[in-house]
Amino acid sequence: MKSKNLKIILHGCLLTTAIGFTTSTFALTNEEQLGRFLYFDENLSINQNQACASCHLPEAGFADPDRHLPVSEGSIAGKFGSRNSPSASYAAFFPEFTLKRGVEGGQFWDGRAVNLTEQAKGPFLNPVEMAMPSKAAVLLAVESSPMGYSQLFLQVCGNNAFNDARNNIQPGIENAYNCLADSIAIFERTEELSPFTSKFDAVEAGQAVFTAEEEEGLSLFTGRGKCAHCHSLGGGKEKTVFTDFKFHNIGVPSNPELISLANLPADFKDPGLGGFLNDPKEVGRFKTTHLRNIELTPPYMHNGVIKTLKEVVHFYNTRDVPGEWPEPEISDNLDSNFVGDLGLTDAEENSIVEFMKTLNDGYIAP
Ligand code: HEC
Ligand code: HEC
């Protein structure tokens, strides 16, 4: 059942839903294909109107296509989460959460899900996301889905899955739900989410050249802009995903719009990693995001407070220049070595932005 030679390739455009599910162009194993169905299936939400892809849409760099809101609306209208939807692409490159090499890895802005499988178990049952009442209800929604992959589900996750869900047999439900989450994680590790087809990759492969401005942007990114201290470039065989997989407090201001949408108290401050670890030394730290397809995923930061890439760079350049920015959401554990007053000119800020735009996938070399 788990072998790679059981590949299904679907030809043509057999299925489309409101959120743009089209068939994969890659050859997928059964588990990958199952994960793909699950990822795009709106039937797995309480009002049958929201899939993983709704907040992590391929065309939007696998983040929320709604550029105007800092947070995402759930399946139930008017319910909003309290963080910006990050990209689900390249998430597979984050190692499992660990404390062994300092704090590193994990999924979510605060690293609280150890890996993609644990992450995928959450959204279905989260009341401000897909809002399903139980794991059994999710399994039965797979069975009744108009996308028609219930047989594939039984084949991958066991023949009793739906019967166990109907008869409330807990161990069976747990097994099938774990398998469902695993399948999504397996899909998230495919090339479809991490294609490495940007201009940056083409330049690395010697198939394209940067413009002078992009080139300057890259040297500022690794040099006086200090970005690469945290958004690291790979070395040797490592693929470059522009993150050190660690957590930092770069001191972004709080976002009143988020506080109002998510119905939080006016003085709300997101503790990030410090909240998860219950450790004051980690308060205010968030994961260093990867920067691939970053042009497609505004707004930016855990609270969506920064709207454009130009403003992001201006923020790093001038955070500590008096009068430029409101005070940090959290001032503890602030990074002051690499961020704050970089002395970049306006043109240099623009070059860094132009460099970041070379990280969009789907580049076709001339
Ligand atoms: C209503 C919008 C919404 C839906 C639906 C949703 N997500 Fe998310 N997703 C988010 C938000 C917001 C976060 C960040 C939450 C946090 O850090 O606390 C997130 C985080 C993630 C991450 C972590 C990425 C990172 O860089 O840490 C992954 C992976 C992910 N989601 C995959 C999924 C999958 C798979 C599903 C379906 C099972 C799903 N999401 C459904 C909004 C959504
Ligand atoms: C000290 C480490 C550090 C340095 C230096 C740094 N970053 Fe970041 N970057 C982060 C962290 C951590 C976040 C997430 C912060 C948050 O949401 O509170 C982030 C977020 C971002 C985002 C938004 C990502 C998203 O998905 O919303 C962009 C874009 C970005 N950085 C670009 C840059 C650029 C360009 C530079 C250099 C001018 C830079 N960073 C320097 C750590 C760093």
Residue 129 CA, ligand 2 centroid: distance in Å? 26
Q: Is 121 in the pocket of ligand 2 (CB under 6 A)?
A: no
Q: What is the model's pLDDT at position 365?
A: 82
pLDDT in tens, 209-221: 999 999 999 999 9
Q: Is the pLDDT of residue 16 over 50?
A: no
Which residue's C-alpha comes closest to atom 5 of ligand 1? 52
User: Residue 75's closest CA among 102, 100, 52?
Assistant: 52
Q: Which ligand 1 atom minimizes the distance to the CA of 54?
A: 5
Q: Which atom of ligand 1 is nearest to the CA of 50?
A: 5
| Plot region of 35 (φ>0 → left; ψ -120 to 50 → alpha; else → beta) | alpha
Give, in order, the Cα–Cα distances in Å from 265 to each of 82, 130, 270, 284: 12, 24, 11, 18
What's the rounded mean pLDDT across residues 122-141?
98
Q: What is the pLDDT of residues 78-122, one digit of tens each?
A: 999 999 999 999 999 999 999 998 999 999 999 999 999 999 999
pLDDT above 70 coverage of the chain, percent: 95
pLDDT tens-digit series, residues 71-80: 999 999 999 9
Cβ contacts of 160 within 8 Å, gap of 6 or more: 169, 172, 176
The structure tokens listed for 214 are 């992009």
Whether the CB of 109 sits within 6 Å of ligand 1 = yes
How large is the C-alpha radius of gyration of the chain?
21
Give me the residue label for tokens 């760079």. Answer: 313
Smallest CA separation from ligand 1 atom 10, residue? 85
pLDDT tens digits, 165-175: 999 999 999 99
Q: Is the pLDDT of residue 137 over 90?
A: yes
Residue 40 has pLDDT above 90, yes or no: yes
* pLDDT for the residue numbered 235: 76
Q: What is the pLDDT of residue 238?
A: 83
Alpha-carbon distance 199 to 59, whole Å?
Answer: 17
pLDDT at 15 over 50: no
| pLDDT (mean) for 323-349 | 95
Looking at this protein, which amino acid is placed at residue 345? T
Q: What is the pLDDT of residues 261-320, one digit of tens each?
A: 999 999 999 999 999 999 999 999 999 999 999 999 999 999 999 999 999 999 999 999
| CA–CA dist 27, 33 (Å, integer) | 9
